[in-house]
């Protein structure tokens, strides 16, 4: 994914971490990645979009401020729905796709970067969770394009973090494990860094596990306590629910530095208030299963890479949720070593995206190691999910296994299942299940006009290509006639527009 620099890239290329909770942007300045502030002067922009009561579009802090007073017209954590064809949000009596909402966040970042730099910004490198599938990656790229950005590369968040650390700390000849617990997603990646080559050995994750889930445990506890004392369920009251969500998030953050946090919500419903103390021990019990789930994903990733914890030289923490003491204790205990946290976990991904942008834009990159030419950094990433084709009996035939270095291409030959079959049709699948229907369907591959022949005679070669962004292309070729056709993967509705 690093490779040769791209010629003729004019102007700055923005490195963007499009996060579930917050987004962050960085550029290369004087050879080093530098986080640049938004127009409000803040380094993090809340990934929140809304419309004011006067129908003005609000993005970032302005939208976040109205989440309690105008929850029906405000949307947050949209990243969790990226690539879902049937998901739409209603704002201001208009329906928006997840990539349409994400485009508004990216538009603000682009605009604010231009204001800060005093120059046009037309290109970007955008990060995604390593465990994002093809539809989610495609939706992210589309969001960038809708925001007026040429997306040079979509790169994995843990890999971006490794790039930032590798460049800044001069990590060399080491295996590192990146533990990335963000607001809405979780990834683990293992990389080998040697002489400027960043090679991903294995990656795994869960796109529906993150800080939001820890917040929800506190929110559920608060709701239950209010129900118990006041016999009132607040679930159906949007304003009350938004106040509870915000209080839960603040409580979680407080418990990273305090043993006890107080939640005080006056007049949460009519004249009734909610005033509760929650201890760190209580919070740890509420969320113990979530932390354990992340440890089991570390185990799986180590297994995939044929490695033991002792063979990992460094552990890197990424994402604001890694500030939770229970997370730190569990990961360091399992890995048997202290984690590196000397780059802000909220900013490290955007800094790594800026490094990749610098590689593609042929920028000068400063490295503390004289023996590594930072101008020749190479990133070898992998596909996080197996790619396959549906066969008879609802089975999946794997074509490109997970953890294959990308870009890559592979082919398999299939045949007909009955005499004089004219059409071969099958689903393009992503996932690890043997049963086809249990995996994610990316689209349907159809090859027609097959000349009449007994079953088993025609030979149909299916080829899958995965590009450096992790986005998939498919072709089918009738080896008998030589007829070849590209197959358009039917993206979720609205993504082919």
The answer, yes or no, to whether residue 374 has pLDDT greater than 90, is no
pLDDT at 270: 86
Question: 210, 159, 188: which is closest to 303 by C-alpha?
Answer: 188
Give the residue-averaged pLDDT of 202-210. Answer: 94
Phi, psi values for residue 422, rounded to 5°: -95, -20
Mean pLDDT of 129-156: 95
**Of 286 and 489, more confident:** 286
Highest mean pLDDT among 232-236, 285-289, 415-419: 285-289
pLDDT given for residue 8 in this prediction: 44
Model confidence band, residue 235 (pLDDT cutoffs 50, 70, 90): confident
For residue range 92-109, what is the model confidence (pLDDT) as tens digits? 889 999 999 999 999 999
Separation between Cα atoms, residue 437 and residue 120, nearest integer Å: 46
- Write down the residue that tokens 């889930």 correspond to: 213
In this predicted structure, the answer to whether residue 14 has a pLDDT above a threshold of 50 is yes
**pLDDT above 90 as % of the chain:** 70
Q: Is the pLDDT of residue 5 over 60?
A: no
Render pLDDT for 300-325 as a digit per residue (tens, 0 to 9).
999 999 999 999 999 999 999 999 99
- Mean pLDDT on 208-235: 91
The mean pLDDT of 271-293, rounded to a whole number, is 95
Res. 6: pLDDT tops 50? no
Closest CA to 356 of 13, 112, 8: 13
Could you list the active site residues? 17, 79, 157, 180
Q: 231 vs 22, which has greater pLDDT?
A: 22
Q: Which of 343, 320, 349, 301 is nearest to 182 (CA)?
A: 320
| CA dist., res. 463 & res. 385, Å (int) | 17
Q: Which CATH superfamily is domain 387-487 in?
A: Substrate Binding Domain Of DNAk; Chain A, domain 1 (2.60.34.10)
From residue 53, how far is each of 66, 216, 245 by CA, in Å?
10, 28, 22
**What's phi and psi for 464, nearest 5 deg?**
-110, 135
pLDDT tens track for 49-82? 999 999 999 999 999 999 988 999 999 999 999 9
Asked if the model's pLDDT at residue 337 lies above 80, the reply is: yes
Q: What is the pLDDT of residues 237-247, one digit of tens each?
A: 888 898 999 99
How far does CA 231 lie from the centroid of its chain?
40
Question: In whole numbers, what is the pLDDT of the chain averaged over residues?
Answer: 90
- What was the pLDDT predicted at 410? 96
Encode pLDDT of 359-372 as tens digits: 888 777 777 665 55
Q: Where are the domains of the chain?
A: 13-209+291-380, 211-284, 387-487
**What pLDDT does 171 receive?**
79
Whether the per-residue pLDDT at 1 is higher than 60: the answer is no
What's the alpha-carbon Rg for the chain, to the nearest Å?
24
pLDDT tens-place string over residues 159-199: 999 999 888 777 788 999 999 999 999 999 999 999 888 99
Give the residue-averaged pLDDT of 481-491: 71
Q: Residue 206: what pLDDT? A: 94
CB-count burial class (<10 Å; 0-12, 13-18, 19+) for 257: exposed
- Residues near 424 by beta carbon (within 8 Å), at least 6 away in sequence: 414, 416, 445, 446, 447, 450, 458, 460, 476
CATH number of 211-284: 3.90.640.10
- Looking at domain 13-209+291-380, its CATH architecture is 2-Layer Sandwich (3.30)
The dihedral formed by the CA atoms of 241, 244, 248 and 250, expressed in degrees to the nearest 10: 120
Structure tokens belonging to residue 94: 């208009």
Q: Identify whether the C-beta of residue 301 lies closer than 8 Å to the C-beta of residue 203.
A: yes
pLDDT of residue 228: 87
Q: Which residue has the higher pLDDT, 147 or 376?
A: 147
* Chain segment 445-464, per-residue pLDDT in tens: 888 888 999 999 999 999 99
Which of 35, 25, 141 shows the shortest CA–CA distance to 82? Answer: 141
Residue 234 binned pLDDT confidence (cut-offs 50, 70, 90): confident
Q: Looking at the predicted structure, is the pLDDT value of residue 486 above 80?
A: no
């Amino acid at each position: 994914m690093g490779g040769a620099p791209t010629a003729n890239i004019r102007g700055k290329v923005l490195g963007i971490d499009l996060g579930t909770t917050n987004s962050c942007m960085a550029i290369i300045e004087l050879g080093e990645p530098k986080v640049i502030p938004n127009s409000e002067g803040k380094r993090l922009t809340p990934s929140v979009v809304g419309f004011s009561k006067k129908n003005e579009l609000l993005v970032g802090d302005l939208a976040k401020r109205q989440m309690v007073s105008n929850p029906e017209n405000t949307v947050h954590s949209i990243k969790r729905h990226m690539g879902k064809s049937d998901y739409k949000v209603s704002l201001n009596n208009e329906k928006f796709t997840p990539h349409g909402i994400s485009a508004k966040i990216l538009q603000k970042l682009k605009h604010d970067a231009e204001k800060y730099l005093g120059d046009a910004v037309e290109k970007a490198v955008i990060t995604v969770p390593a465990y994002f599938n093809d539809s989610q990656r495609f939706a992210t790229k589309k969001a960038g394009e809708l925001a007026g950005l040429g997306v040079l590369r979509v790169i994995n968040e843990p890999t971006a973090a490794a790039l930032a650390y590798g460049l800044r700390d001069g990590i060399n000849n080491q295996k590192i494990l990146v533990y990335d617990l963000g607001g809405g997603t979780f990834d683990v990646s293992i990389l080998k860094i040697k002489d400027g080559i960043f090679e991903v050995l294995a990656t795994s994750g869960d796109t529906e596990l993150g800080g939001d889930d820890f917040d929800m445990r506190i929110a559920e506890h608060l709701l239950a306590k209010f129900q118990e004392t006041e016999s009132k369920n607040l679930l159906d009251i949007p304003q009350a629910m938004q106040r509870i969500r915000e209080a839960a998030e603040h409580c979680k953050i407080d418990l990273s530095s305090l043993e006890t946090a107080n939640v005080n919500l006056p007049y949460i419903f009519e004249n009734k208030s909610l005033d509760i103390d929650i201890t760190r021990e209580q919070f740890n019990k509420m969320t113990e299963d979530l932390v354990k789930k992340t440890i089991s994903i570390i185990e799986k990733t180590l297994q995939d890479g044929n490695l033991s914890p002792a063979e990992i030289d460094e552990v890197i923490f990424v994402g604001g949720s890694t500030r939770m003491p229970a997370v730190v204790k569990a990961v360091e205990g399992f890995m048997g070593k202290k984690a590196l946290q000397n780059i802000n976990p909220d900013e490290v991904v955007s800094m790594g995206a800026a490094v990749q942008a610098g590689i593609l834009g042929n920028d000068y990159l400063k490295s503390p190691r004289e023996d590594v030419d930072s101008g020749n950094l190479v990133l070898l990433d992998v596909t996080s999910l197996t790619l396959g084709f549906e066969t008879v009996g609802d089975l999946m035939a794997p074509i490109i296994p997970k953890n294959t270095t990308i870009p890559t291409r592979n082919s398999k030959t299939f045949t007909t299942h009955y005499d004089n079959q004219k059409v071969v049709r099958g689903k393009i699948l992503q996932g690890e299940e043997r049963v086809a229907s249990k995996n994610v369907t990316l689209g349907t591959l159809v090859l027609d006009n097959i000349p009449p022949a007994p079953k088993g005679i025609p030979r149909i070669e299916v080829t899958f290509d995965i590009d450096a962004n992790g986005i998939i292309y498919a072709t089918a070729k009738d080896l008998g006639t030589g007829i070849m056709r590209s197959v358009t993967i039917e993206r979720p509705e609205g993504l082919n527009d």
